Amino acid sequence: MSNTPYDIVIVGAGFAGMYLLHRARGLGLTARVLEAGTDVGGTWYWNRYPGARVDIESMQYSYQFDEDLQQEWEWTEKYSPQPELLKYARHVADRHDLRRDIQFNTRVAAARYDEGQAVWTLEAEDGSTVQGRFYVMATGCLSVPNDPNLPGKDTFAGPTYVTGRWPHEGVDFTGKRVAVIGTGSSAIQSIPLIAETAAQVTVFQRTANYSIPAHNAPLDKAYEAKIKARYPQFRAEAKKTGPGFHAVFETDSVLDATPQERERRYRERWQQGGLGFLGCFADHMMTQEGNDYAANFLRDRIRSIVDDPETAEKLCPTNLIGAKRFCVDTNYYATYNRPNVALVDIRANPIEQVSANAVHAGGEAYGADILVMATGFDAMTGALLAVDIQGVGGARLQERWAEGPSSYLGLAIKDFPNLFTVTGPGSPSVFTNMLPHIEQHVDWIADCIGYMESRNYRRIEADADAEDQWWDHVQEVGAVGLKATVDSWYIGANIEGKARGMMPYLGGFPQYCEKCETVAAEGYAGFKLA
Ligand code: N01
User: Per residue in 58-101, pLDDT tens?
Assistant: 999 999 999 999 999 999 999 999 999 999 999 999 999 999 99
Dist. CA 23–CA 102, nearest whole Å: 14
186 lines ligand 1 (CB under 6 A): yes
Q: Distance of alpha carbon 156 from its chain centroid, rounded?
A: 30
Cα(245)–Cα(370) distance, rounded to whole angstroms? Answer: 38
Q: Reply yes or no on whether the pLDDT at 2 is more than 70.
A: no
Question: Is 524's pLDDT higher than 60?
Answer: yes
Question: Which mutation among 58, 183, 186 tests ligand 1's pocket best, with the greatest number of atoms within 8 A of CB?
Answer: 186
**For residue 348, what is the enclosing H or E element?**
none
Q: How far apart (Å, rounded) are the C-alpha atoms in residues 120 and 416?
A: 10
> Cβ distance 347 to 319 under 8 Å?
no
According to DSSP, the β-strands at 31-34 and 177-181 are unpaired
Q: Best substitution site from 55, 206, 327, 347 to test ligand 1's pocket, by max atoms within 8 Å of Cβ?
A: 206
Pocket test for ligand 1, best of 366, 375, 495 (most atoms within 8 A of CB): 375
116-145 pLDDT, tens digit each: 999 999 999 999 999 999 999 999 999 999
State in Å: Cα 265 to ligand 1 middle. Answer: 28
Q: What confidence category does residue 3 fall into, taking pLDDT thresholds of 50, 70 and 90?
A: low
Predicted confidence (pLDDT) at residue 102 exceeds the cutoff of 90: yes
Helix, strand or coil for residue 376?
coil
Let me know: does 372 contact 176? Beta carbons within 8 Å: no
Rounded Cα gap, residues 58 and 70, in angstroms? 11
Q: What is the pLDDT at residue 248? A: 86
| Shortest-distance atom of ligand 1 to CA 142 | 32
Q: Does position 530 have pLDDT exceeding 70, yes or no?
A: yes
Task: Kindly state if the Cβ of 181 falls inside 6 Å of ligand 1.
Answer: yes
What 3-state class would DSSP assign to 33?
A: strand
pLDDT tens per residue across span 5-34: 999 999 999 999 999 999 999 999 999 999
- For residues 203 and 201, give the distance between their C-alpha atoms in angstroms, rounded to a whole number: 6
User: Residues 207-260: pLDDT tens digits?
Assistant: 999 999 999 999 999 999 999 999 999 999 999 998 899 988 899 999 999 999
Alpha helices in 401-504, H assignment, sequence order: 434-455, 464-478
Q: Which atom of ligand 1 is nearest to the CA of 188?
A: 19
Q: How far apart are CA 109 and CA 125, in angstroms?
A: 5
pLDDT in tens, 454-488: 999 999 999 999 999 999 999 999 999 898 899 99
Q: Is the CB of 376 under 6 A from ligand 1?
A: yes
Contact 287, 255 (CB under 8 A): yes
Phi/psi at 90 (5° precision): -65, -40
**What percent of the chain shows pLDDT beyond 90?**
97
**320 vs 518: CA distance, rounded Å:** 36
- Among 334, 325, 244, smallest CA distance to 278 is for 325
- The conformation of residue 500, written as its DSSP 8-state character, comes to P
Q: Is the CB of 433 under 6 A from ligand 1?
A: no
Residue 118 CB neighbour total at 10 angstroms: 14
- Tens of pLDDT, residue by residue over 34-66, are 999 999 999 999 999 999 999 999 999 999 999
How far, in Å, from the CA of 69 to the mean position of ligand 1? 33
1 pLDDT above the threshold of 50 = no
Ligand 1 within 6 A of CB of 57: no
- Number of helices (H) and strands (E) in the chain: give both, helices first: 16, 20
pTM greater than the 0.75 cutoff: yes
Mean pLDDT of 381-403: 97
C-alpha angle 122/128/133, rounded to 5°?
A: 30
187 close to ligand 1 (CB < 6 Angstrom): yes
Measured CA to CA, the distance from residue 257 to residue 51 in angstroms comes to 37
Contact 210, 298 (CB under 8 A): yes
> 441 CA distance to ligand 1 centroid (A)?
26
